[in-house]
Structure 1
Amino acid sequence: MPILITFLSLAIELVLGYPARLFDAIGHPVTWFGRLISFLDRRLNRATDSDAHRRGWGVVALLVIVLVPAALALWLETLLWSIPLGLLVTAILATSLLSQKSLAEHVEAVADALDSGGLDMGRIAVSRIVGRDPEKLDRAAVCRAAIESLAENFSDGVVAPAFWLGIGGLAGGVAYKAANTADSMIGHRTPRHEAFGWAAARFDDWINLPASRLTALLIVLAAFLVKGADAKGAWHAVRRDAKKHRSPNAGWPEAAMAGALGLALAGPRSYDGVMVEDALMGEGGRHEVESADIRRALKLYRVADLLLIALFGIIVVIVIAA
């Protein structure tokens, strides 16, 4: 049942996305999780506490952030399965945990902005999807940032929630999304969150391990099918570079994308005025990335995403046949 729900959710969300009217009316699960996380951060993360106490309270906060929404989702899913068309309704609800359509739209908007409005408009567009300092990015850096975001968010925003939906149904998908939102909000090495957000950051690393590897594989396979992409280069880049990334997960899809497109991604980047040193993913021309490369990356992403949907479809057929 969870596999079928995941397959249906992927297919529906790819076409419909998350309607803007629905977001305006009720928000989005990420905004709901965000309110809970902000509340717990204000109440439990006290600057007067020792790091050990803050780390302990961070563990408590993470348990609440993950278990409360997951328990509600499990109750709702159990209720829905007992009514006609309940499975379809569950699948439609689960589409809110995926971001196939919006991810492509946001990344494509960067290429469109660069082509129609130049560097300034490109910086504005890319600032909506990355956390680095946009005013320090030249045209090539804007393009690299968009491609890196596409690769990493394909893993975090599509493959990982689909994976946990397939494992644990709606509750599994909700638990993943809540934990991933917690990491994005409090899992930073800042004075306020280094101790309190430790559990959120480590847990997010763990739950993204399988999806990041699967994402890299999907990109490599997609490179076989996309004209001009280099599947062999993608595979070699993953094997050589993925583990050099400061993140245990982000390097896998980024290296695969870099190798497939013949680019060099990652490397030193500036966040809030702080330069973060990171290894290069891929061996391509780092200073020759253009908006056309963003569009090449999008083609690769769309094929890899279809392969993901096909994978779940094949599993559904196998399970039904068995």
Structure 2
Amino acid sequence: MIPFGGLFAGAVLLALLLDAVFGEPDWLWRRMPHPVVFFGKAISFFETRFNRPKDQSALLGRLAGTFSLAILLLLGCALGTGIQLGLMELGGVGGVLIAVIASTLLAQKSLYEHVERVAVPLSQSDLQGARAAVSMIVGRDTSKLDEAGVTRAAIESLAENYSDGIVAPLFWLVLFGLPGLICYKIVNTADSMIGHRNERYLYFGWAAARLDDVLNLIPARLTMILLLFSPVSLHRSRTVAFQSWTRFFADARRHRSPNAGWPEGAMARRLDIALSGPRYYEGVLVDEPFVNDTGRRQIGADDIVLALKLYGRACQCQFVIVALLGTGALI
């Protein structure tokens, strides 16, 4: 049951529809900053003023980062609460405006389009074009990737970003309204900017990285369920994909991320492919274990198409689930 009643439930459903249909319209964001840009500028404001990696101890660095994040979350919560309360007073018009705002912080269509841009040149044997396209959505070095490596990178990005770019913000929106959505996006943006284990951000970004892990804990596992159980015909049956649960959980726990292994593992098993594995970061080979290491490793554009098909069906299923929750709000 969605806690803010039927009007808000309708706004959430409309937000999903708006995002699915319109995505991130370039004409709009060329004329005005995206909300995430504001979050990024606010994070940079605190980071440049309070992060002193050469002068701070580990404790002081973590305290500075935690303090900065706490202030940002308080501001985000106040902003989200004020907007939501004000708009809910406007009735249906306010509900539409809430939907418009929420849709800008979801990424169903844009994620589909970014991953599809990798499949197109790959299907035309344009490896350079595919590397360029996948470099826009992953952080690893792409210059040495072969066809299978590009494919794995694209599908991994699809699985991970489905979790933290769609399921997680939707989860916190349903639970806590716009304040929950805004606060989640602040943390997620902070993690992507300062949650790195390098000399500059190791301590200052600690709170952002840890809180992002916590906020994605449940959504990552919900994403796994959506990907595993969404009814769509792929290479192998869902019955086969559900076998060897012990290995599935072991794969997820071996992943470098406490959360990404769950959606990646589900995607890998539904497609019968191996994901993750060794990759280069800043010229250094990182020997990561494979997820679903018995799956196919010679993969290509057709597998990206199948992954997008599964992703699309999972998005449809999540819409139905939210609609059912909204119906509960009306009872």
- TM-score calculated relative to the size of structure 1: 0.95
Mapped to 1, the partners of 2:287 and 2:191 lie a distance apart of 21
CA contact (8 A) 2:88 2:94 kept: yes
SS at the partner of 2:150? helix
What amino acid maps onto 1:8 in structure 2? L
Q: How does 1:62-77 map to 2 (within 5 A)?
A: 62-77=69-84
More moved, 232-241 vs 196-205:
232-241
Matched, 1:21 2:31: no
Distance 1:150 1:179, change over 3 A: same
> In the alignment, does 2:211 pair up with 1:203?
yes
Matched, 1:176 2:184: yes
Matches of 2:286 and 2:106, distance apart in 1: 29
Larger relative contact order (CA 8 Å, sep ≥ 6): 2
Task: Report the equivalent of 1:269.
Answer: 279
Q: SS at the partner of 1:26?
A: coil
Structure 1: unaligned runs, 5 residues or longer: none
Native 8 Å contact 2:191 2:205 kept in 1: yes
Select 1:217's aligned residue among 218, 225, 243: 225
Letter in 1 for 2:77: A
C-alpha separation between the residues in 2 aligned to 1:274 and 1:166? 41
Kept in 2, the 8 Å contact 1:160–1:211? The answer is yes
Q: Which amino acid aligns with 1:144?
A: R
Q: Does 1:55 align with 2:62?
A: yes
Tell me if structure 1 keeps the 8 A contact 2:252–2:261. Answer: yes
- Displacement over 4 Å in runs of 4+: none
Aligned equivalent of 2:251: 241
Specify the alignment match of 2:312 in structure 1.
Answer: 302
Partner of 1:257: 267
- State the Cα deviation string for residues 266-315 of structure 1 (Å, max 9, x = none): 12221122333322111344531101100000000000111011100011
Match of 1:33 among 32, 39, 55: 39
Q: Do structure 1's residue 318 and structure 2's residue 324 form an aligned pair?
A: no
Q: Which has the higher helix share?
A: 1
Task: Provide the rounded CA distance (Å) in 2 between the counterparts of 1:194 and 1:286.
Answer: 36
**Residues 216-272 of structure 1: per-residue CA shift (max 9 Å, x gap):** 0000111x4334343234434643421221211000000000000000001222112
Aligned match of 1:8: 14
Aligned-CA RMSD value: 1.5
Preserved contact between residue 268 and residue 295 of structure 2 (Cα < 8 Å): no
Amino acid at match of 1:252: W
For residues 128 and 313 of structure 2, the distance between their equivalents in structure 1, rounded to whole angstroms, comes to 30
- More deviation, 251-260/11-20: 11-20
Aligned-pair identity (%): 44
1:230–1:259 Cα contact (<8 Å) kept:
no
Once the two structures are TM-superposed, the CA of residue 91 in structure 1 deviates from its matched residue by 1.0
Q: Tell whether 2:107 aligns with 1:92.
A: no
- What TM-score do you get using the length of structure 2 for normalisation? 0.93
Aligned length: 320
Counterpart amino acid of residue 104 in structure 1? Y
